[in-house]
Structure 1
Amino acid sequence: MVNIPKAANKKLSDVMTPELKQKIRFALVGVVNTVTAYIAFIVINQLTQQYILASVLSYFIGMMVSYVLNRSFVFKQPKRAGQFLPFCVVNLTSLACSTGILYLLVDHLGVYVYLAQIFAVSASMVINYLGYRTIFTREVCQ
């Protein structure tokens, strides 16, 4: 019979810490949110033929989906007064940072735009996760 070391004999449930599970749920919500916002962008742009308007409106639609799913599915918190405004601040901060990173990388460092966007989105994901975790898991929101 083969002797398997205890470390290799761990079950997936032993490896999946609550924080790792939360991060996986956050990533899944990110995919749902991105697809929802992109579909909204297409629909609004087709209806209005104004891509800037479509971009802004679809961003806010995505933000609303993100708020509901992050609060209820990722961080599993009930709706409390004082959560939505900080959520908006986190999103606007994230948007400003990712836009600034994109501009800096493309216009000042000459990074290929699609590669730069990956870095910008990655930075916004970190900002969003940390901000959302603070908003949805603290005991009292003011």
Structure 2
Amino acid sequence: MKPAKKASSWISPSLWQKIRFAMVGVINTLTAYVAFIALYQITHRHILASVLAYFIGMMVSYVLNRSFVFKQPKRSGQFVPFCVVNLTSLACSTGILYLLVDHLGMYVYLAQVFAIGASMVINYLGYRTIFTRGVYQ
């Protein structure tokens, strides 16, 4: 009987990278969402809570994406572009949250889920460029 092939032998490096990104995304999203709930309960201000929670998630994201997803050592010149990607993502997600809650009357916790989804797409594309310069590890 042949031994089973390891999953890494039949899944491309690009797909493994996306799987790792998704795993980190779950950790990061849960961290930021729990922070959002806690901060919103304290402040009762959804925009402020969203922005502060985003920055908490951003710090977790930087460490895990650099070291686990893209497997890159810490190098100078990575953090500033990482922040630019995140500020772009934050602007988009905050705009979506504002539009959904303040103009469309959506429940704040559900609206935050949509805002997070939009930021995930922006972040993956930006992080991939920053940490790998377009080359999959």
SS state at 1:19 partner: helix
Q: Does 1:138 align with 2:122?
A: no
Q: Which has the higher contact order (CA 8 A, sep 6+)?
A: 2
CA-atom RMSD in angstroms: 3.2
**Separation (CA, whole Å) in 2 of partners of 1:112 and 1:58:** 20
Q: Which residue of 2 aligns with 1:36?
A: 31
- Radius of gyration: which is bigger? 1
Q: Does 1:56 align with 2:58?
A: no
Structure 1 unmatched ranges of 5 or more: 1-9
Greater CA drift, 70-79 or 49-58: 49-58
| Shift in Å, 1:31 | 0.5
Aligned pair count?
A: 126
1:25 corresponds, among 17, 20, 29, to 20
SS state at 1:33 partner: helix
**Separation (CA, whole Å) in 2 of partners of 1:103 and 1:45:** 14
Change (3 A) 1:62 1:106: closer
1:129 corresponds, among 121, 124, 135, to 124
Q: How does 1:103-122 map to 2 (within 5 A)?
A: 114=110, 120-122=115-117
Structure 2 unmatched ranges of 5 or more: none
Instruction: Please report the TM-score for the alignment, with normalisation by the length of structure 2.
Output: 0.71
Instruction: Please report the TM-score for the alignment, with normalisation by the length of structure 1.
Output: 0.69
